[in-house]
Amino acid sequence: MRVSESRALPVRAVRWLNFQRRLKIRQARRWIAFEDIARFEADRAPRAGGRFGEVFLAHEGQVAHKWDHYLPVYEQLLGRYAEGFVDENGGRRPLRFLEIGVSEGGSLEVWRKYFGPEAVIHGLDIDPKCAFVVPDSVARVHIGSQDDGELLRRVVREMGGVDVVLDDGSHVASHQRATFDVLWPLLAEGGVYICEDLHTAYWPGYEGGLHRPGQFISVAKALVDGMHRWYARMPDTQLHRSGQHEVRAVHFYDSVVAIEKVRRKPPTWTKSGTGTKEDRAKEAGHVG
């Protein structure tokens, strides 16, 4: 019920209570929307997700939540790292994987099974309870907010660098952007940055909205523009520069964006073969 102004409560208190009430309604609506879509997807989605899907569906430990259609996406993006990370010189070393958003710890257990005992796996979550969900042999869990740049830098230092980032944290646009701004420059060449649950990029409750600057789908689109900066004039923004010099590919899936990092040189052009259509036409007696 809406709190009305009365002599018993000062105006500011009434406003505060009404604000809290509106917030609760907004949160409840947000959750209902999510549940409806989740049921819709779960009924129809194919459950095959390659080896990742097998590991995920056979998992019996802590709870892990993933949309069904992510399973083949992970396999496609991360299957190449299952035997370790191949660096610029062709050497193989253990993968360094960071997941933002630990929750019950189940996904960290799944990643450990998927990437094997050698991988360096760290998690970050704002909830202090997450410090207890898995032992260090599964993953090292850090507590703090994903928009704390100093913390992120410390985590990556402790990891000895980072090859794969999976942002499954707050899903709030400004947090996703802050995390990307800090972690993207630290990501190893040949690595991939993944941000998931990006349906939230369209939800105002998560600072989202269609074409809204700053939400992660818009960030990724700006990187796509930047990839093409060799060929077209565009403003000199950080995203455009990154896209031009460091992005090999931006993959868009339903609710998942993955950005592959590679140091790019100006594009070159190669010709092979010598035959032309004029030669062929002349041989065939074609005139004109």
Ligand X SMILES: C[S@@+](CC[C@H](N)C(=O)[O-])C[C@H]1O[C@@H](n2cnc3c(N)ncnc32)[C@H](O)[C@@H]1O
Residues that bind ligand X (CB under 6 A): 64-66, 99-103, 106-107, 124-127, 145-146, 168-170, 175
Exposed/middle/buried for residue 173 (C-beta within 10 Å: 0-12, 13-18, 19+): buried
Least separation, in Å, of the C-beta of 38 and ligand X?
Answer: 12
Report CA torsion sign: 229, 215, 171, 71.
Answer: negative
Q: Residue 284 corresponds to which amino acid?
A: A
Q: Residue 68 corresponds to which amino acid?
A: D
* Residues noted as catalytic: 171
Query: Does residue 190 sit in helix, strand or coil?
Result: strand
198: nearest Cα among 261, 258, 127: 258
Nearer to ligand X, 127 or 254 (CB): 127
Least separation, in Å, of the C-beta of 140 and ligand X?
Answer: 15
The answer to whether 97 touches 122, Cβ cutoff 8 Å, is yes
Least separation, in Å, of the C-beta of 64 and ligand X?
Answer: 4
Nearer to ligand X, 133 or 247 (CB): 133
Q: Retrieve residue 264's tokens.
A: 């790019």
Least separation, in Å, of the C-beta of 221 and ligand X?
Answer: 24
Nearer to ligand X, 77 or 227 (CB): 77
d(CA 30, CA 154): 34
d(CA 216, CA 195): 8
- Residue 137 carries which DSSP code? T
